[in-house]
Chains A and B, each alone.
Chain A
Amino acid sequence: MKAAYQTPPSCADHNDMSFEQCFQYILSGVTNGSIYAIVAIGFNIIYNTTGIINFAQGEFLMLGGMTAVSFASIMPLPLAIILSVAVVSIVGVLIDMIFIRRMKKPSILNMIIVTIGLSIMIREVALHVWDEKVRSLPYFTGNEVTSINILGAYISPQVLWVLGVCGVIVLFLGLFFKFTLTGRSMRACAANITAARLCGINTRNMVTISFMLSAAIGALAGCVISPITQTQYDSGAPLAIKGFTVAILGGLGNSTGAVVGGIVIGLLEAFSISVMPLAYKDAIAIAVLLVILFVRPRGLLGKREEAGLKEF
């Protein structure tokens, strides 16, 4: 009798997923996916000018959230966010000026190891500047209990902010790389750094700008997601792992690929919950990463010739 009672709901759970539930998963997947995409775009910008993966990218998000929370206690929220983005950009510039630029042997491997060290250092500094406690920014619109109904699925208004800001960042970067001289110089670096140097582009400055840009984007993303995910001194690393997976999936250096990859991973994670235990959620991204590395190392949207030119 008991067993008979239990069977129907579990069937309903797996097979007849209602439209609302399905849509809710899609929204949840797209939200997380766009956060991953932003982190991946940060990876890509630096990868394009230097050929390295900056493992401190997650820490930029954490720093952005933390500084904004501190500023928000003494000034209005929009100003706090702008200031925090500025501060973190400066941190990005300093990282390049102090560590990357001065390296005696700037090989790919050395630079990557430096960024790993930096990520650990930034985390420890944050632990000392702030503490181990969790912080979060207030919701930009509404509050913790505000809920918007979209076609039977419910989301927080902050989710719209996350999606909006991600969209704006992608759009802005697209325009920047296409129409400004700096943006085009950076693209030139990405295509072929020696050729770019021969054309008179100051590639070192382009590296600095790329660090500044990805720090700024990271900080902005860190602020927007802070009300939902909360910020802690060590919340950067998990984001960096997901972002890295997404960057590889989409094709390293390819911003459109990052968006596609982010949403794919986000959706996979969201729907996985309905068929397997929640505990495996984080394994999905890693599994996808492995499959991609075996089957299509250049990523979904990466080009074979382009990948062949890169060292890493």
Chain B
Amino acid sequence: MSLKKFFAIFACLTFLIVSLSCKKQEEKTLKIGAIFSVTGGASFLGAPELKTAQMLVDEINSKGGLNGVKLELIAKDSSGSPEKAISFAKQLIEENKVFAIIGPSTSGETMKIKSICEDAKTILISCAAAEAIVNPVAKYVFKTPQKDSYAAMKIFEVMKKKGITRIGVVASNDGFGLAGKGQLEKIAPLYGVKILIGEVYDKKSTDLTGVLTKLKARKVQAVVNWSIVPAQSIVAKNMRQLNMKEPLFQSHGFGNIKYVKEAGKAAEGIIFPCGRLLIADSLPDNNPQKKVLMKYKKDYESKYGEEASTFGGHAYDAVIILAEAVKKAGTDREKAREAIESINGLAGTGGVFNFSDQDHNGLDLDSFAMLTVKNGKFVQYEDK
């Protein structure tokens, strides 16, 4: 072996050893797994969620971490597939040995990995809406978005005040639509509301005048549409074209200004429940959420140049809940889990979180505000 070669190898080895030992010194990082559907059909959820989580983790690290512990986000794109979510969850738990997992974006994925995380004693903070995620309560599983049933209750509260008792429900033929329709049907009797017609439509529907004509003939007093698909705008347009003057209620899926733009003038007066992010500017200063909402909106919009959405907010809440727990209890999983259950009055983007060992969502009915569309903008709905 020539001297040159020997030196080259020696240099390589030294470099390797040095770099290895460097890694050892950095072991104070806390690994957080993230499973979001960044691409695919649910990309409107996963993409802002990942961006938000990354932004917040970077911010925490730039401030010196949590009590000196830096965070490392290991992100996986499940593209909305439960199978991928399962294998990523296993990988994160067994190979990466993560401290906690945030996500997944959709309820179907979350339900599939709920027991995996529970068995591995790994904290899971889901960004999906379904009630079944936290009911029954699993020790290690939490979620940040508001419950479907709260959205339905909020809608019925407004109906009660308006004296509406006979309604028609249309929903998209997918997980979100069917779950929402189920909640509406379950809760309607409690508010004395009768659902005269409940129909589901294909999520690619482009014309709903037929079913709306049927609702019109039954003289419903209001229409509720529950979906996250573009048909949300089509329902509004079709109703106005049929000269239906009845109020249109939508689900929290309508909380995206692009649907308002598509529906144009027909969007005016649509009433729907939503987190307060969309009306952050107009909240009174004494609202406990005002500060965190304004900060998230400003940070996200200046960093990514696109409008912040309530969906990204769910990831924001997941990270701040986790951060709060680590600050309080350190990096012991069991203690951190208990710390989450003891969180009280933590203002997030979705509402003010009050966890307990029975409540792993931590939000109450008030976490939804009723919004309406006025002059092409979201504003708080006020009873007339």
A and B held together in a complex: yes
Chain A: residues with CB nearer than 8 A to chain B?
6, 9, 12-13, 17-18, 21, 24-25, 28, 31-32, 132-136, 138, 143-147, 149, 154-156, 159, 228-230, 232, 234-235, 238, 269-270, 273-274, 277-279, 281-282
Q: Is the CB of A278 within 8 A of B211?
A: yes
Complex interface: chain B residues within 8 A of A238 (CB): 204, 206
User: How far is it, in angstroms, between the C-alpha of A135 and the C-alpha of B259 when the chains are bound?
Assistant: 10
Q: Is the CB of B204 within 8 A of A235?
A: yes
Stretch at the interface among B62-70, B97-105, B263-271, B340-348: B263-271
Complex interface: chain A residues within 8 A of B207 (CB): 28, 31-32, 228-229
Complex interface: chain B residues within 8 A of A281 (CB): 201-202, 210
B8 CB within 8 Å of chain A: no
18 additional contacts (CB under 8 A) given A18-B217, A25-B210, A273-B211 = A9-B196, A17-B217, A28-B213, A31-B207, A32-B207, A134-B262, A144-B237, A144-B265, A147-B243, A154-B241, A156-B241, A228-B237, A238-B206, A269-B210, A273-B213, A278-B200, A279-B201, A281-B210
Complex interface: chain B residues within 8 A of A269 (CB): 210
Given contacts A13-B214, A278-B210, A279-B173, A155 and B233 within 8 Å (CB-CB): no
User: How far is it, in angstroms, between the C-alpha of A172 and the C-alpha of B348 when the chains are bound?
Assistant: 61
B331 CB within 8 Å of chain A: no
Cβ-neighbour of A274 out of B214, B230, B242, B266 (below 8 A): B214
User: How far is it, in angstroms, between the C-alpha of A277 and the C-alpha of B194 when the chains are bound?
Assistant: 18
B186 CB within 8 Å of chain A: no
Q: Is the CB of A230 within 8 A of B214?
A: no
Q: Is the CB of B209 within 8 A of A277?
A: no
Q: Is the CB of B218 within 8 A of A9?
A: yes
Q: Which chain A residue lies CB-closest to B244?
A: A154
Complex interface: chain A residues within 8 A of B211 (CB): 273, 278
Given contacts A134-B230, A134-B262, A145 and B240 within 8 Å (CB-CB): yes
B234 CB within 8 Å of chain A: yes
B258 CB within 8 Å of chain A: yes
B43 CB within 8 Å of chain A: yes
Q: Is the CB of B242 within 8 A of A134?
A: no
Cβ-neighbour of A230 out of B202, B234, B241, B268 (below 8 A): B234
Q: Is the CB of A279 within 8 A of B200?
A: yes
Complex interface: chain B residues within 8 A of A25 (CB): 210, 213
Complex interface: chain B residues within 8 A of A28 (CB): 207, 209-210, 213
User: How far is it, in angstroms, between the C-alpha of A32 and the C-alpha of B207 when the chains are bound?
Assistant: 8
Q: Is the CB of B240 within 8 A of A229?
A: no
Complex interface: chain A residues within 8 A of B307 (CB): none
Bits for B216-248, please: 1 = Cβ < 8 Å to A, else 0: 111000000000001001101100111100000
Q: Is the CB of A145 within 8 A of B206?
A: no
Q: Which chain A residue lies CB-closest to B166?
A: A9
Complex interface: chain B residues within 8 A of A132 (CB): 43
Chain B proximity of A22: nearest CB distance (Å):
10
Best-buried of B201, B214, B234 by chain A (most CB within 10 Å): B214
B199 CB within 8 Å of chain A: yes
Bits for B171-203, please: 1 = Cβ < 8 Å to A, else 0: 001000000000000000000001010011110
Given contacts A154-B242, A238-B204, A273 and B214 within 8 Å (CB-CB): yes
Cβ-neighbour of B262 out of A6, A156, A230 (below 8 A): A230
Chain B proximity of A102: nearest CB distance (Å):
34
Given contacts A13-B214, A144-B263, A228-B237, A235 and B206 within 8 Å (CB-CB): yes
Q: Is the CB of A134 within 8 A of B233?
A: yes
Best-buried of B173, B210, B242 by chain A (most CB within 10 Å): B210
Complex interface: chain B residues within 8 A of A146 (CB): 241
Chain B proximity of A233: nearest CB distance (Å):
12
Complex interface: chain A residues within 8 A of B204 (CB): 234-235, 238
Cβ-neighbour of A229 out of B200, B206, B241, B267 (below 8 A): B206
User: How far is it, in angstroms, between the C-alpha of A135 and the C-alpha of B230 when the chains are bound?
Assistant: 10
Complex interface: chain B residues within 8 A of A156 (CB): 237, 241
Q: Is the CB of B243 within 8 A of A154?
A: yes
